[in-house]
Amino acid sequence: MPKPVENPNAEAKDQAGMKPYTENIQSTDLKFEMVPIPAGTYKMGSPDGEKGRKADEGPQVEVKLEPFWLGAHEVTWGEYELWGLGLDQQRRKAKDVDHNEWNTTADALAIPPSRTPT
């Protein structure tokens, strides 16, 4: 895997160092905001005595989460179409721009293959 595009705000040694940051999508004017979600615990499942509880809602267990970043907003159509429709690939081809190490990996691992109906 290639090294990630450097973004010092996206790096943190611990939860206290995590802060919101903006990620720019290379070669586009698209960007998205990321916010830190602190570590914590929660109870997953319904308690035994809950009214209307179904059998597949238990047993109740405590879940521990490590801190992580989450998109501040839902994915926009522009962001989705860039990936889902391969618009980044089309733009690079139209502008005769070579793949860099990041989009080569993304194209190989994350871009849906184009398929022709049979």
pLDDT tens across 67-110, in order?
999 999 998 887 777 766 666 666 777 777 666 666 665 555 45
The whole-angstrom separation of Cα 113 and Cα 94 is 19
The whole-angstrom separation of Cα 35 and Cα 18 is 8
Domain limits, the chain: 6-48+60-73, 75-111
| SS3 state at 1 | coil
- What average pLDDT is seen over the chain? 80
Residues 111, 86 contacting (CB under 8 angstroms): yes
The backbone torsions φ and ψ at residue 63, rounded to the nearest 5 degrees and listed phi first, read -115, 135
Is the pLDDT at 54 greater than 90? The verdict is yes
The dihedral built from the CA positions of residue 14, 15, 19 and 22, taken in this order, carries a sign that is positive
Report which DSSP code applies to 83.
H
pLDDT reported for residue 8: 82
pTM to 2 decimals?
Answer: 0.61
pLDDT reported for residue 42: 95
